[in-house]
Chains A and B, each alone.
Chain A
Amino acid sequence: EAGVAQSPRYKIIEKRQSVAFWCNPISGHATLYWYQQILGQGPKLLIQFQNNGVVDDSQLPKDRFSAERLKGVDSTLKIQPAKLEDSAVYLCASSVLRSSYEQYFGPGTRLTVT
C-alpha cells in the first residue's frame, strides 16, 4: 500500500511570509496527525484529526497556525506569518483508528525561515 505522502519536501521562506504544507494519508486511515520536529528534539503533536473533525489542537499556536482536513482525507497545515522559530520538520502521520496507536509517518517537510 502507498505510504503517507507529503509535499513539498523542502521550503525556504522569509519571516512574516506564509507557507502551506500538504499531506495525503494512507487510504482508509481515519486519524491524521501533524507534528513539529525541531532539530535535535522529538516530534511534538500540533493537531490531530479524526476524519474531518479536530480531536486535539491544544498545542497548535492558533494565532499563526491553521490546519484543515476537508472530506476527511487530505490535509493542509498553514503558517501565517512565519517566525524564525518555526524552522523545523513538519511531519504528517496517519493511523487506522484513534485506538490503534500505531502511526505511519510521511517523510516530512523541512521548513527553513530566514
Chain B
Amino acid sequence: AQSVTQLGSHVSVSEGALVLLRCNYSSSVPPYLFWYVQYPNQGLQLLLKYTTGATLVKGINGFEAEFKKSETSFHLTKPSAHMSDAAEYFCALPGGYGQNFVFGPGTRLSVLP
C-alpha cells in the first residue's frame, strides 16, 4: 500500500532562512507526488506536483521540490522564508489504483521574525 511520512510535525525557521520540509514515500509503482499548503481556516492549495520528467519541480511562492527515487524522497525547499509562509504543509500521493490520495500527517511551519 502507498504511504507518506513527513519527518517533523513542527518546523521553525527564522525569516530569511532556508526552509526544508521532509517527505518520504512508499509506493509499488512510479509515484506522482504532490505538496499542498493549508493556511489557517482554509482548504488545501496545491504548491507543486511531480508526475514525470524533470525531477526538480518548481511551484508557487518560490517553493521547489526534488524527486529522488533512490531515496524515496520528495523534500520541499525554499531558499528564504517569509512570514507569509507560516502554514501547514502536506505531502501526498495517489493511494494506488484509482485516484484516492494518501496524505502525510503534515508539517507545521513557523517563521520567526
A interface residues with partner B (beta carbon < 8 Å): 4, 31, 33, 40-45, 48, 55-56, 91, 93, 95, 98-99, 101-108, 110
Contacts and interface: CB of A to CB of B under 8 A. Distances in A.
B99 A107 contact: no
Contacts, number: 62
Interface residues of B, number: 25
A107 B44 CA distance: 8
Interface of B: 4, 9, 32, 34, 36, 41-46, 49, 51, 90, 92, 94-95, 98-101, 103-106
B43 A101 contact: no
A72 B95 CA distance: 24
Nearest to B32: A101
Could you say which of A31, A42, A104, A108 has the most chain B C-beta atoms within 10 Å of its C-beta? Answer: A42
